[in-house]
Amino acid sequence: MAMKITVKDSKGNATAEVEVGFAVIEDGKGTQAVHDTVVAYLANQRTGTACTKTAGEVAGTNRKPWRQKGTGRARAGSFQSPLWRGGGVVFGPRPRDFGRKVNVKTRQLALRRALSERLRAGDVVVVEELPLTAPKTKELVGVLAGLDLTGRTVLLCGAADQRQLQLASRNLPEVAFTTGEALNTYQVLRYDKLLFTRPAFAKVEERLK
């Protein structure tokens, strides 16, 4: 289904209306793809480096702490026993790979479904450009205020504005920066608003055609 979206200038005034360049999903198609893609994305962020030492890896002597009988104490054969402070750990975490794979078509369907939902909800804003005279956070805050964007926002721009916007947005805890090539389903769902420059939106449309 075709959908139109209003393109604005940096002050929030409508300048044009363009048709979304990919088919917007209306029914429940893609719900499972969104779930699988987000779960895989979060799993792939895990480093899996947690590690504990077993009794065989703990440094120490192999000498028996005391003789087997006659001391009145419980039998003990090693200082590395899990029963001792500083001994090995039983069934502790070991380095592992939490990564999951999702094929390209599933990721594409998930992104299209998630973006379709945000378009229908009115959470996608497209501007001609985001003009900054310098990579200043204050300037970017003014632009966001002019567009009436509050809450968590993700900025997407083309290659020309990439460096300035990246520097200007990094001091804003509720503003994230990415590009049309790198946008993923998790980012589409996590942020309250998605602010695209026209070239960045065109790049996403190209990915989803």
| Per-residue pLDDT tens over the stretch 13-65 | 888 888 898 889 888 899 999 999 999 999 999 999 999 999 999 998 889 99
Strand partners, 127: 8, 197
Counting residues of the chain whose pLDDT is more than 90, the rounded percentage is 68
- What residue ranges do the domains of the chain occupy? 4-46+104-208, 48-97
Give the residue-averaged pLDDT of 170-179.
Answer: 92
d(CA 200, CA 180): 5
Residue 157: both structure tokens together: 């721009």
Banded model confidence at residue 83, pLDDT cuts 50, 70, 90: very high
Average pLDDT, the chain: 91
| Phi/psi at 171 (5° precision) | -95, 0
List, for residues 93-126, the tens digit of each pLDDT value.
Answer: 999 999 999 999 999 999 999 999 999 999 999 9
123 burial type by CB count under 10 A (0-12 exposed, 13-18 middle, 19+ buried): middle
Going by DSSP bridges, is the β-strand pair 193-197/124-127 parallel, antiparallel, or unpaired? parallel
Asked if residue 1 has pLDDT above 80, the reply is no
Taking the C-alpha atoms of residue 91 and residue 54, their distance in angstroms, rounded to an integer, is: 8
Q: Give the predicted TM-score (pTM) of the model.
A: 0.83
CATH 3.40.1370.10 correct for 4-46+104-208:
yes
